Amino acid sequence: MGEKGEVFLARVIVLTSGKGGVGKTTSAAAIAAGLALRGKRTVVIDFDVGLRNLDLVMGCERRVVFDFINVINGDAKLNQALIKDKRNDNLYIFPTSQTRDKEALRRDGVERVLDELKENFDYIVCDSPAGIEHGAITALYFADSAIVVTNPEVSSVRDSDRILGILASKSRRAEHNLEPVDMHLLLTRYSLERAKKGEMMSVEDVKEILSIPLLGVIPESESVLRASNTGTPVAFDQESPAGRAYLDAVARFVGEQREMRFVQPERRSIFRTLFGRA
Amino acid sequence: MAGNLVQGALFTVMVVRAETLRDPAFEAELGEQVRRSPRFFLNAPVVLDLRGAEEFTREAEFVEARDRLRRHTLTLIGIQNSQPGQAEAAASAGLASFAPNSTQPRGTRPAEPAPTATAAPPRPAPSVAKSRLVTQPVRSGTQIYVRGADLVVAAPVSAGAEIMADGNIHVYGVLRGRALAGASGDAEARIFCSRLEAELVSIAGRYLVSDQLPPEQRGFPVQIALVDDRLTIERN
């Protein structure tokens, strides 16, 4: 941990939101896949002890032997628990326990595991549970960067605001007065049509309330449900608008400039206009 | 040398009227207030105003009042506006006598200077406490309380955030949360903001919720003051 001259140390990224069901796990999987596609050695960790989903979304639920809690408790070694993704050699998944609950996440154990992971990876993506209690706080505690996943909807925006306050006060960087956690907004399940009709908050509305840089806008897309059900991170789906949006977000995260697609009206074919599909 | 022993100082203290202690609703209401803002009330000093409460004449009554307030995490430190008999009884209970302060009408006793060292005049009181300046957005769920001074926020205040100050509150940004100025009773405190979208505004305990704000002022830079016991909102 910490900044040691020019040496690039693994960056810990947390996907958090406060609100449940906004797309943290989908986004964690997609962003980890996006980073791996760029040649970065990436591990994605499930912090949602007791309600684990990451293994399903990544398609490795049938290969889980040992998990995060086993490693924290010393019952297994890290390399026994890590699962290599079959589609990309740079991508690893670290599942969590389904039988325990979040009390099993001890901060010192998590720190030890993260330190070990930092030696072997470029990016460590932490998929946080919903809420603002122990599980969510542990997931964000060691983060260098935070991607706050938000739906363009009032409850989600309020909860994201809350989690931003918590990142600024209860993260390790905040407690030790280090450079603050680098925060980004990821707007998910966005529909331009509904925003124009006033049924949904606009990108500008959300940006104004949350006042953090926008990393990306992920359009509402059926491909996301398909991706979850087939255990394929949506970023691997080249034809999906959501997948492409995630890849754009990853590009911006590593410093590239990308235009925001899906927030300008897209040219629509006559069939789409007739049948009104997004 | 002896001048260093005792210095003058200014403090802001809450005042509780002794006659409200008799009210059966007092405990419940105070309990509710403390539950909502525990940090504000924790170990906060309180002065008991004895106007209209001539029956407080025995040391035991002051001890009982102190215990009752202690149960709500408040610390009773003194009395004010007492009759001659009451002052002695209060002193026996370890309570100090305070002169009437500027936000209340003057009592019959002349104001007395703070105790001073005998040999040399006391050092001048330290200047008024420095205003607190906040430059990061005040996020939902955050509570800020500035004791004895003004609060200046040069950033947005989110819905679900609560900012409080004994003095004035200035928000150079949009105010979406709750703002409580004059929190310890200073009715001259004001609230200033660049854009009014507050959930609740309050000065010295009088408040208006969002629904009660005049619609023509929403979204504009305003100044809120307490005039004749009513909150007034004026365009800045």
Q: What is the pLDDT of residues A94-129, one digit of tens each?
A: 999 999 888 889 999 999 999 999 999 999 999 999
Q: Digits of tens for pLDDT over chain B (236 positions)? A: 455 677 777 777 888 888 888 888 888 888 888 888 888 888 889 999 888 887 778 888 899 999 999 999 999 999 988 887 888 888 888 999 887 654 544 444 443 444 433 444 445 555 567 899 999 999 999 999 999 999 999 999 999 999 999 999 999 999 999 999 999 999 999 999 999 999 999 999 999 999 999 999 999 999 999 999 999 999 98
Residue A103, phi then psi, degrees to nearest 5: -65, -20
Which residues of chain B are within 8 Å of residue A159 when distances are taken between CB atoms? Answer: 140
What are the helix (H) ranges across A133-218?
134-141, 154-170, 172-175, 192-196, 203-210
Contacts of A22 by beta carbon, 8 Å cutoff, 6+ apart: A149, A150, A151, A156, A188, A189
Nearest residue on chain B to A132, judged by CA atoms?
B141
Q: Do A162 and B160 touch (CB under 8 A)?
A: yes
Among A156-170, A191-205, B130-144, B216-230, where is mean pLDDT lowest? Answer: A191-205
**Residue A219, both tokens:** 């359009």
ipTM, 2 dp: 0.82
**How close A161 gets to chain B, by Cα (Å)?**
6
Mean pLDDT computed over A191-208: 91
Per-residue pLDDT of A176-188, as tens digits, reads 999 999 999 999 9
**Residue B151, both tokens:** 């609060």
Residue-level pLDDT at B155: 96
Q: Are B21 and B65 in contact (CB under 8 A)?
A: yes
Q: What is the Cβ-side half-sphere exposure of residue B83, based on CA atoms within 13 angstroms?
A: 9
Residue-level pLDDT at A262: 77
Q: How confident is the model at residue A17 (pLDDT cuts 50, 70, 90)?
A: very high
Burial of A218 by CB count in 10 Å (0-12 exposed, 13-18 middle, 19+ buried)?
buried
Residue-level pLDDT at B107: 41
Q: Is A165 an 8 Å CB contact of chain B?
A: yes
Residue B187, phi then psi, degrees to nearest 5: -75, -10
State the pTM of this model: 0.72
In order of A92, B48, B60, B62, B90, the CA distances from B81 in angstroms are 73, 9, 19, 14, 12
pLDDT over 70 for what percent of chain A?
92
**Residue A177, both tokens:** 């007065």
In order of B2, B36, B181, the CA distances from B33 in angstroms are 43, 5, 16
Which residue in A17, A161, A177 has the most chain B C-beta atoms within 10 A of its own C-beta, making it the best mutation to test that interface? A161
Nearest residue on chain B to A209, judged by CA atoms?
B158
Nearest residue on chain A to B139, judged by CA atoms?
A165
Mean pLDDT of chain A: 91
Strand arrangement of the beta sheet that strand A123-127 belongs to: A83-84, A91-94, A42-46, A123-127, A11-16, A145-150, A182-190, A214-219
DSSP state of B160: T
**How close B176 gets to chain A, by Cα (Å)?**
10
**Residue B82, both tokens:** 């007492």
Residue-level pLDDT at B4: 66
